[in-house]
Structures are given as C-alpha cells and as structure tokens.
Structure 1
Amino acid sequence: MRNPTDGGQAVLPGMPRRLLRASPKSLADFSDCPRRYRFANVDRPSPPRGPRFAHHTVGTALHQVLSSWWDLPVERRTPGAARQLLIGAWSPAGFRDDEQSDRWRSRAAGWLTDYLADVDPTEEPRARERTVSTMTERMTLSGRVDRIDERGDELVVVDYKTGRSPSTDDEARGSQALALYVLAVRRTLRRACTRVELHHVPTGTVAAFEHTERSLANHVRRAEDVAIDIQAAGEAVAAGEDPDAAFPAVPGRQCGWCDFRSSCPAGQAAGPAREPWSFLPEDDS
C-alpha cells in the first residue's frame, strides 16, 4: 500500500508538504467511507470491484451519447441520430435479462428524444468531457466535466443527471463537485465562470446556481478539511498504523452496493448485497 500524501516517500523535516492529488469523486469517497477511498485510491493493486449496476449502465450510455452527438455534422444533430448512437453505446451489463435491457434502452431513447428537442444543435459547447484542474492550499484537484457551455462572456458548468428524481436548485448550490469544477474551469480555460447547472435528462429539467466568491470559498474550505483527514490517515499508515484503523469502514445500507464489498468484511456484515438491477424504478414497464 502506498501513502496518498507523499507517494510512499518519507517527508523530510523542513521540506514543504506535498499537495494531495484529489478529485471531487475521491473526496466524496473519503467522506462517505475512508476504507472505500483507500481501496480505490491507495491500495495497489486495487481490490477487485463488484458487478456493474444497471442504473450505472443507463447513465454511462446517456453520457456517451450526449457527448458524441456533438461530433456529428450540424445537419445530422437530431434526436433520431441520438437514438441511433444509443444502440452502439448500450450495454446489457447489470440488467436482469435481455428483455429488461431492451425495455430500458427504449425508455432511454425516449428521454434523449425529449431532452434534445430543446437543445439548439448549432450552439456548440465550449468543451465536452473536458478534464480541468486547479490547486488549493492542500490539494491539486482535477476532474472531468460533462459539458462546458459558453454563454456570452462566461462559461457554465453542465452536469448530466440520469437518476430517478429531478435535480433541485438546492442540490446545485450544495454540490461540492460542481463548485470545485467552477474553480478548475476558471484556471484551465482562463475564463469567467460562476454558474452551474444540473440537467436531469429523464425529465428535461434544469437546476442551477450562481456561485459567489464566498460560496466557492466555503466549498473549498470543506474540501480542504477532508484533505487534511486524508493526509492524516496516510501519515498514520506511514508511521506504522494498521491501514484498517487509519482508513476505517463506515458500515451502512450503502454497503449493499459498494464496489468493494467482496473485500470488506464490515460491509458484508452490514447487510445483504443488492441485485445489480435493483435501483431501477419498480414500475419500469
């Protein structure tokens, strides 16, 4: 196992502390369960991951289509073209059987048709699936943004959502990931950016928030608090502490669908594993 704060090398007295390499996802993983963070970001090789869930399959396919759709010539950017792209992007992974997979592909095709009906195919995004990065006092942060729109003199961070419920403005305001993306977009693309949007593809609704310097600073402060805890855990392991103690498990219902359930006795004891298709709405006819 390597030390996440110093790459496994001893930190010499008087030397500046190395910045933690992090992403919004890794920070969220540590906040939810330090042991999950360790399995995903520290242990090498990483423990094997569990089966793919069907709702992730749906989300991945929709994200892929909504990116590759813009690669088509303008005259071909139609909802019908998106439905064709979905056929190539689709996977049966996680579904109960082929019949369920086919039903959900048809449902996803309907979502794309309705969502793209309100999208102007001539308004090119500034970027799609773009990796952006920034630095704070404790971290170098990087992550991939679904879409970056150009609206007048400013850029807008757009995140696609494909879950059951429409997103809310409060979710857009409270999303640490989106706030960190604003800062990373500013640094990477050298443009003004304050607005974040959550586009719920199944309903076509948009939740939004306009960040201020104060709201961004609040998100950075909370992110750096997590970074401090991650660095402390890594230093404890480097000093000889048991990794399971330094990165404790946080058992709960979420253990039923954790990628690393098979490697975590505490997670296995927390409850039964969820079926890979169990997060699809029950009324999926």
Structure 2
Amino acid sequence: MTQPTFPGMPTPLYVASPSRLLAWLDCPRRYRMHYLDRPRPRPRGQRAHTSVGIATHNVLRDFWDLPPERRNPAGVAELVRTSWIDVGFRDGDQSRAWRDRVRERVTDYLRGIDRERHPVGVERSVSVKTATLAVTGRVDRLDERGDAVVVVDYKTGRRVPTPDDARTSLPLALYAVAAGSVLRRPCTRVELHHVPSGTVVGHEHTGESLARKVAEAESIAADLRRADADFREHGPDSDRFPARPSALCGWCDYRDHCPEGRQVGPAQADWAGLEPLPGPATGTAAGPS
C-alpha cells in the first residue's frame, strides 16, 4: 500500500505485511482480489484446518496470561474449550475429535518448554523501515536467551518443517530484523515450532543474510508499487495480475472467481486439510502445509 503524494514530496514508503509480500509471489491474481479489488470478491468460508490453527495459536497466546499455578493440563484443557472454533468440520463428531487432539498436542508441546519463564513477547507487533519499505507483522513468540532474542513461529499443519524452511523464510527474517530494532537487542535466530509433532527447527542468521532478506522484501515491494499503480489506472483490466495455476488452486479462497484456478481441478472439501484420526471422525485428503 502506497500513501498519496503531492508535488515536491519524497516518494513515500511502501507499507506492507509479510503476508502481503508473499501473496504476490504465490499468485498475482489472488493478491489483486484480496488486497486491491473493491468490493472484495466473496472468499470461501473458513476451513477446518484453519480453525484448528487459529484455536491452537490462541491457546498458546492465552496460556501465558494464566497464573503459574494454572499452567497445567487442566488449564490448557479449559483454554482449548473456550478457544475452540467449530467451523469447517464435516460434522460435530469430527470437530470434537479434533478439539481433543488439539488439547493433547498443545499439552505435550508445553511440557517441553519452561513454563515459568515468560517470553519477552507473545503475539508482539513489530515493524521495520528501510529507505523504501515499511513492514509490520505480528510474531507468535519472542524468547529471551542470554542477551539475545529469538523469533518463534508456531506451525500447526500436516507437514513437518525443515531447517531449510526456517533458513529461507522471508517473514521470519523480517521479524528478526524488526524485533532487534524494536527491543534494541541482538536477534538473529529464528525457529519454527511444529506443535503437532513437537519438532523445533531453527536457523542462525548473520547480518549479511538478514540484509539479503531485507533486500528481497524491498524488491518485492518495488514490484507491488508498480502493480498497485497500474491497478489504480486500469482496475481489474490491468495485465499485471495473471493467475498462477497450481495444485494450491484447490485450496484458494478466491477459486470461485478465477476461471484458470477452477480448471486445475475440483475444490478441496472444507475438512480435507486435516490428517486422518483413528476412529470414524477422520480427515481426508492431504492439505496445504
């Protein structure tokens, strides 16, 4: 998003979130429909795996607001009960089965961390400005380790992340730069915590690698600045927003408004992103990671 200008004014910073930058890389058509089209096309309703992810993040956020004596399995169970989002599941049995699974997973995950040591930040908003770009985002957790701060991002999908995922992640790198700037402390380590498996993978950035990620973000923002300007002039007729058909089209919230996306294949069921559970309330096909 670019602020309006007047004659003689310097070029304003391009304001974006990491999600906005990545949306452009994933599919310019989806970027246009989500961020530029007004009115915005009606997206598909929330899927079950999204409900699971949001509820898990909310429990892990609210856990730190509990008094220390309630940071136990009973406290987690109550948080899951009050945070649960019963949307997108095939039926009530599947929803209840996944509520129990999330309770088990979060409880197991929290057993592996120091529950007495409060993080430096929980869902902390951070921002960083460069000569051309202003990025703002929200970090799941910021841990203190010695004099440094570590960026922690929760993952709740089926796929277990790898160290390369942590190394190449643009949002994590931008969060590290922003957190270090906001807190005025070293912040070069980023970690992905996969709650379903308890897997933790991380990467230790250098000043040079973080600078490369900032330059990458600035390059994407430069493309977005040109694309946004073209949209203001030509609207949906702009040719800067082609669809990028892929297997992910079956999961796209705006698939119903994209002829190219509909040609890829059928839309995935609302609960297809869930892995199978034992018993009758199982998920089905593989979903996005």
TM-score under structure 1 length normalisation: 0.92
CA contact (8 A) 1:79 1:112 kept: no
Task: Report the equivalent of 2:284.
Answer: none
Return 241-250 or 53-62, whichever deviates more: 241-250
* 1:263 aligns to 2:218 (yes or no): no
Paired residue for 1:29? 23
Contact persistence 1:79–1:116 (CA under 8 A): no
In the other structure, the counterpart of 1:41 is 35
AA of the residue aligned to 2:96: D
Alignment coverage as a number of residue pairs: 279
SS of alignment partner, residue 129 of structure 1: strand
- Structure 1 equivalent of residue 44 of structure 2: 50
Q: Which residue of 2 aligns with 1:110?
A: 104
Q: Distance in 1 between matches of 2:136 and 2:254?
A: 23
Please state whether the residue corresponding to 2:37 is helix, strand or coil.
coil
RMSD of the alignment, in Å? 1.7
Instruction: Confirm or deny: 8 A CA contact 2:150 2:188 kept in the other structure.
Output: yes
CA distances 1:243-268 after superposition (whole Å, capped 9, x unpaired): 44122221222121111222223322
- CA displacement at 1:155 relative to structure 2: 0.8
SS at match of 1:157: strand
Cα contact 1:83–1:112 (8 A) shared by 2 = no
Query: Which consecutive unaligned segments of at least 5 residues does structure 2 have?
Result: 280-289
Equivalent position of 1:5 in the other structure: 2
Query: Which residue, out of 145, 154, 161, partners 1:151?
Result: 145
Q: Does 1:180 align with 2:193?
A: no
Q: What SS does the aligned partner of 2:127 have?
A: strand
Quick check: 1:203 aligned with 2:205? no
Structure 2 CA distance for partners of 1:107 and 1:248, relative to 1, 3 Å: same
Q: Give me the whole-angstrom Cα distance separating, in 1, the residues matched to 2:236 and 2:96.
A: 47
Long gaps (5+) in structure 1:
none
What residue number does 1:133 align with?
Answer: 127
Cα deviations by residue, 1:85-128 (Å, 9 ceiling, x for unpaired): 10111122111011111111111111112111122221000111
Aligned-partner Cα distance in 1 for 2:26–2:99: 31
Aligned to 2:239: 245
Indicate the larger mover: 131-140 or 262-271: 262-271
Contact residue 49 and residue 274 of structure 2 kept, 8 A:
yes
Distance change (3 Å), C-alpha of 1:282 and 1:244? farther
Residue range with higher mean Cα deviation, 213-222 or 68-77: 213-222
TM-score, length of structure 2 as denominator length: 0.91
Worse overlay, 38-47 or 86-95 = 38-47
The corresponding residue for 1:272 is 266
Shift of 1:168: 1.6
SS of the equivalent of 2:176 reads: helix
The equivalent of 2:90 in structure 1 is 96
CA contact (8 A) 1:53 1:277 kept: yes
Mapped to 2, the partners of 1:269 and 1:12 lie a distance apart of: 44
Q: Of residues 40, 63, 71 in structure 2, which corresponds to 1:69?
A: 63
Q: Percent identity?
A: 48
Write the letter of the residue equivalent to 1:50.
R
Change (3 A) 1:260 1:5: same
SS at match of 1:245: coil
Give the SS at the match of 1:192.
coil
- Aligned residue number for residue 72 of structure 2: 78
Distance 1:197 1:178 in 2: 8
- Checking the alignment, whether the CA contact within 8 Å between 2:55 and 2:83 is kept in structure 1 is yes
- Give the stretch that moved more between structures: 64-73 or 267-276: 267-276
- Residue 62 of structure 1 aligns with an amino acid whose one-letter code is T
Residue deviations 1:119-151 (CA, integer Å, cap 9, x gap): 222100011111110012321100000001111
Between the aligned partners of 2:62 and 2:237, the Cα distance in structure 1 is: 42
- Contact 1:234 1:246 (C-alpha < 8 Å) held by counterparts: no
Distance 1:242 1:17 in 2: 25
Distance 1:69 1:44 in 2: 38
How far apart are the structure 2 equivalents of 1:259 and 1:153? 42
